[in-house]
Each structure stands twice: as C-alpha cells, then as structure tokens.
C-alpha cells in the first residue's frame, strides 16, 4: 500500500444515493477516492452480472463538479468495469455502501452491496460492505464515521484471505450505540408476502414483499446484535462450501 491509499467506492442504491455520497466523503479523509456506481438502483441483485447486454460507462457531476463514474449495470458489473476499464491499477481497498436497510442473515445472500465487496475480494482486493439499518429518516453521520475507522484499520492490518467484512450499523445517534460486536451470519429469514394486482388491461402483476422474522437470540448473530443497538461486523467468505457436510457426503459412496 502507498502512503496515500487509493479507495474504490461502490454501492447498489445507485449513484444518486445519499449513503454513497456520505461514504465517499468519509473515505476522502483517508486517501484518494474513485467512485464507480450503478447509474440506477440495483438493490437485491446479489452477485448478478450483466450478460448479453452491453454496458455503458458515464460520468456523474455533483454541484457542477465531477463526482464519479456510472455503469449501466449491477454492483458486480461496476467492480468488474472499474478494474478493467476505469482504473489504471488496482485500488488498495474497496468499500461498498452505505446501503439503505440491513444486510444481515439471509439478506446477505440477496445484497448487491455485499455482492460488490465479494467481487472485489475475488479480485484479491480487501473489501468492506456497509449498511444502515433503516429505509427512512436515514442519518449516515455515525455510519460514515465508523466506516472510516474500520477502513483505516483494514488498510493497516489487512483481511484474512477470501474474506470480506459486512458491517451493519443501527440508525441511531452515536451516543446510543452500545458497542461493536463481531458476529456470524444469523438465521433470521423472510416471511414472504407476494401482492397480486391487476394492471389497466386486467392482467395480473406482482409485488414481492415480506417481513424479516427474527430467529436469533445471541449477540454473536448479526440481526439480533443490531436490534440491541450494536454495530455488527460479520466476516463473509467467498468460499460457500459447507465444510462440516463434506465428511457426511463422502460417506455416501456416490461412485458405487
């Protein structure tokens, strides 16, 4: 790492998102920042990437000044395009967010914010994902401050191989934060609710909805921790293998 680190900032809420701007401003206090984000919101895209459709790179201006680059695709597309066609060399760190809404438990699988960070780690770049646990009345002040604190630590210490940190931060004042805990991905999951309606021609269409049901009861689990007003820092591995199941499956003697 150079004396002035280069930090790539991405998200899944799109280039206009307040959380992205707060994160970029905070990272500028650590080093040189490049922003590459989706031109439109791409929440819930997980690790999706665009195939069969051309991607377009654009620019975005804020207060009549260049702010960053846009990509007409998913968060993962943004990382791929940034590394292959926008940046001259690999950044020292990738930070993704700050997302609207938590990315805990099963939400981790759906998250484009986490997907962007995982893509960065696949490309051998230390990567972090940040989420604020609200969809309304968001205050990114403390979240951006904590993101900078953790980013500084990772720039100095590095991360375990093939691992990102997914960070969920309660939407409360800093004085009400009870602490920071290192957690595992919890078991909480969605109670699905698909709403059916008819368009003006009488054809049905559907809205996917639901409520995240708490199924955890320990501060070692991310969703429970944030509901107790703790910042949850969860190490997420690129390797999705269930290693505990390998021995059981090998006993099946599938070659016979």
The annotation places the binding site at 12-13, 43, 99
In this structure, the chain runs to a length of 256
C-alpha separations of 187 from 31, 66, 108, 183, 210 in Å: 37, 42, 11, 12, 16
165-to-26, 53, 67, 201, 254 alpha-carbon distances in Å: 18, 31, 26, 47, 36
Determine the Cα–Cα distance for residues 154 and 193; give it in Å rounded to an integer.
39
What are φ and ψ of residue 159, in 5° steps?
A: -135, 155
DSSP 113-126: HHHHHHHHHHTT--
Give CA–CA dist 148/128, Å, rounded.
11
**Which residues are CB-neighbours of 248 under 8 A, at least 6 positions away?**
none
Burial 80-101 (b: 16+ CB within 10 A, else e): bbbbeeeeeeebbbbbbbbbbb
- Structure tokens given for 86: 């926008």
Q: Which residues are annotated as a binding site for a divalent metal cation?
A: 12-13, 43, 99
């Amino acid at each position: 790492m150079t004396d002035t680190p280069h930090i790539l900032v991405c998200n899944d809420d799109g280039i206009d998102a307040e959380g992205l701007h707060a994160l970029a401003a905070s990272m500028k206090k650590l080093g040189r920042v490049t922003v590459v984000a989706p031109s439109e919101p791409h929440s819930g895209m997980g690790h999706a990437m665009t195939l069969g459709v051309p991607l377009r790179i654009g620019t975005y201006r804020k207060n009549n000044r260049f702010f960053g680059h846009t990509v007409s695709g998913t968060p993962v597309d943004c990382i791929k395009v940034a590394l292959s066609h926008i940046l001259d060399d690999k950044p020292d760190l990738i930070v993704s967010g700050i997302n609207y809404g938590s990315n805990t438990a099963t939400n981790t699988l759906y998250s484009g914010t986490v997907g962007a960070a995982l893509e960065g780690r696949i490309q051998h770049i230390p990567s972090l994902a940040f989420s604020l646990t609200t969809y309304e009345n968001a205050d990114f002040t403390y979240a951006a401050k904590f993101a900078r604190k953790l980013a500084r630590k990772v720039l100095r210490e590095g991360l375990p191989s093939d691992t990102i940190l997914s960070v969920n931060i309660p939407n409360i004042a800093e004085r009400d934060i009870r602490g920071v805990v290192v957690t595992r991905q919890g078991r909480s999951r969605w109670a699905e609710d698909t709403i059916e309606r008819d368009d003006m021609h009488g054809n049905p269409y559907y809205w996917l909805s639901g409520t995240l049901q708490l199924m955890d009861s320990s501060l070692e689990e991310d969703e429970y921790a944030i509901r107790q007003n703790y910042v949850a820092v969860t190490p997420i591995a690129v390797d999705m293998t269930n290693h505990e199941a390998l021995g059981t499956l090998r006993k099946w003697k599938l070659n016979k």
